[in-house]
A = this chain, B = another copy of it.
Amino acid sequence: MPSWNIPETQKSIGVFDSGIGGLTVVHALMQHLPQENITYFGDTARVPYGSKSEEVVREYAFEDTRFLLQQGVKIIVVACNTVSAVAIDDLKAHFDIPIIGMIEPGAAAACKASKNGRIGVIGTLATIGSESYPRKLKECKSSFEIFSTPCPLFVPLAEEGWRTHPASDLIAEEYLADLRKEQIDTLILGCTHYPILRDVIQKHVGPQVALIDSGEAAAIQVEQMLREKNLLNTSTAQPNYSFFVSDVPQKFKQLGELFLQKADLRVTKVHLQ
Spell out A's residues near B (CB within 8 Å).
44-47, 51-53, 55-56, 125-126, 129, 152-153, 155-157, 159-160, 165-167, 170-171, 174, 246-251
Contact = CB atoms under 8 A, between A and B. Distances in A.
A44 B55 CA distance: 13
Contact of A153 (B44, B153, B170, B247): B153
Contact of A125 (B153, B155, B157, B250): B250
A251 to B, nearest CB: 7
A205 to B, nearest CB: 18
Contacts of A166: 170
A247 B49 CA distance: 11
Contacts of A152: 156, 159-160
A160 to B, nearest CB: 6
21 contacts: A45-B52, A45-B56, A51-B249, A51-B251, A52-B247, A53-B247, A53-B248, A53-B250, A55-B247, A56-B247, A125-B251, A126-B250, A129-B250, A152-B159, A153-B156, A153-B157, A153-B160, A153-B167, A165-B174, A167-B167, A167-B171
Given A56-B247, A152-B159, A166-B170, 9 more contacts: A45-B46, A52-B249, A53-B247, A53-B248, A153-B153, A153-B156, A153-B167, A155-B156, A167-B174
A172 B131 CA distance: 34
Contacts of A52: 44-45, 247, 249
Contacts of A170: 165-167, 170
Nearest to A128: B250
A66 to B, nearest CB: 18
A246 B53 CA distance: 10
A243 B123 CA distance: 30
Contacts of A157: 153
